[in-house]
Structure 1
Amino acid sequence: MATEVTDGPAAGETNGAAVEKTVTFTAVKPQVFVESSKVSDAVAFYKSAFGVEEVNRVTHPKRKADQELPLLLSAEIKLGSSTILISDVSDDSAAPPKAVGSGLVICLETEDIEAAINTAVKAGAVAEGEISEGEGAWFGGRVGKVKDPYGVVWAISTPAAKKEGNVEA
């Protein structure tokens, strides 16, 4: 499903009336930055831990003088119907400066949280805390967390039970 954002009256005018311009977004692609030259390792980890499929790889056309391998700008991985970009941090990357508490958590849904967490831990992730249930869980279902070797926290949850009635915004 695409999301549309409408620009206000500044978008243009026709016969004195404002014409709104609509922008349609077709995807959201989070980008995860890992330590330089670790993208291949990270992709291998995500394949093992979460069963991702690598669909594309983009390398910098010029090799760095101090590196044998070309700089990997990004690897595009597919997880379910979602796409995530994994990139090396470099001097010229778009990575924000490292900060504690960036607030990034990637959420995955599955019916078998225990198996998903065990698979991720066997691949090299670290389980964080216990599996939460009910009101204490973020999504109203069950949720557990793992931190991967690259510092990304993954919340693994069951789909939330659908509630009937009005939902407040």
Structure 2
Amino acid sequence: MALHKIENSFAPTVSFSAVKPLLNVEAPKANNAIAFYKAAFDAKEVGRMLCPKRKANQEIPLIVLAELMIGGFSILVTDFAHDSDNAPKTGGLGVFLQTEDVSAAIAKAVNAGAVEDEEFVAGEGAIFRGGHMRRVKDPYGFVWTIYSV
């Protein structure tokens, strides 16, 4: 294990093989969110882990974690309940999707239930170097920026 110096101490060198954003969806709506992401963004479901304990009034088990692939990259989706002091808030993450046909991608997302938000035209020196960028908000509060370069 390699070590490197950080402010008068040594820490092991660490490398990561993936970054997977987690979308916290208000319980019990993660299953609906997954169906939306499949319809809107052609997501493919890789796996799903369900909560083994169910409250008597729940008709479906909660999703502890589901992994989806969009354009070769993973995102994670989970149900969360507000009955925990540590419960995260929904909508705190934005996701960027790159495509050649922004208008078609926006139309597909809107057709699946998203609401179109903003359109940007990048100028000289911008990150997207003159590309096209538009945003949609999904029914679960997450903003998806769809762009071309």
User: Which range, TM-score by smaller chain?
Assistant: 0.7 to 0.9
With over 3 angstroms needed to count, the CA separation of the structure-2 counterparts of 1:52 and 1:63, relative to structure 1, is same
Matched residue count: 144
In the alignment, what sits opposite 2:133? 143
In the alignment, what sits opposite 2:142? 152
- CA shift for structure 1 position 65: 2.6
Looking at structure 1, the residues matched to 100 and 140 of structure 2 have their Cα atoms a distance apart, in angstroms, of 25
Question: For 1:57-85, what per-residue CA distance to the aligned partner results, in whole angstroms no more than 9, with x for missing partners?
Answer: 01111112321222211211011121111
- CA shift for structure 1 position 152: 0.5
Residues 33, 95 of structure 1: 8 Å contact kept: no
With over 3 angstroms needed to count, the CA separation of the structure-2 counterparts of 1:6 and 1:107, relative to structure 1, is farther
In the alignment, what sits opposite 1:21? 12
1:74 aligns with 2:62: no
Residues 134, 142 of structure 1: 8 Å contact kept: no
Question: For 1:32-68, what per-residue CA distance to the aligned partner results, in whole angstroms no more than 9, with x for missing partners?
Answer: 0112111111011001100010001011111123212
Q: Which has the larger radius of gyration?
A: 1
In the alignment, what sits opposite 1:10? 9
- Unpaired runs of 5+ residues, structure 2, are none
- Unpaired runs of 5+ residues, structure 1, are 12-19, 160-169
Task: For 2:58, give the aligned amino acid.
Answer: Q
1:45 aligns with 2:44: no
- Identical-pair percentage: 47
Larger relative CO (CA 8 A, sep 6+): 1 or 2? 2
What SS does the aligned partner of 1:151 have?
A: coil
With over 3 angstroms needed to count, the CA separation of the structure-2 counterparts of 1:38 and 1:98, relative to structure 1, is closer
In the alignment, what sits opposite 1:127? 116
- CA shift for structure 1 position 134: 3.0
- CA shift for structure 1 position 133: 3.7
In the alignment, what sits opposite 1:96? 88
Match of 2:94 among 89, 100, 105: 105
Looking at structure 1, the residues matched to 136 and 12 of structure 2 have their Cα atoms a distance apart, in angstroms, of 42
Q: Could you list the structure 1 runs, at least 4 aligned residues long, displaced by more than 6 angstroms after superposition.
A: none
Task: For 1:49, give the aligned amino acid.
Answer: A
Question: For 1:2-45, what per-residue CA distance to the aligned partner results, in whole angstroms no more than 9, with x for missing partners?
Answer: xxx9563533xxxxxxxx52111111010001121111110110
Residues 64, 71 of structure 1: 8 Å contact kept: no
Q: How much is the aligned-residue C-alpha RMSD, in angstroms?
A: 2.4
Looking at structure 2, the residues matched to 36 and 148 of structure 1 have their Cα atoms a distance apart, in angstroms, of 16
The 5 Å alignment of 1:47-62 reads 47-62=38-53
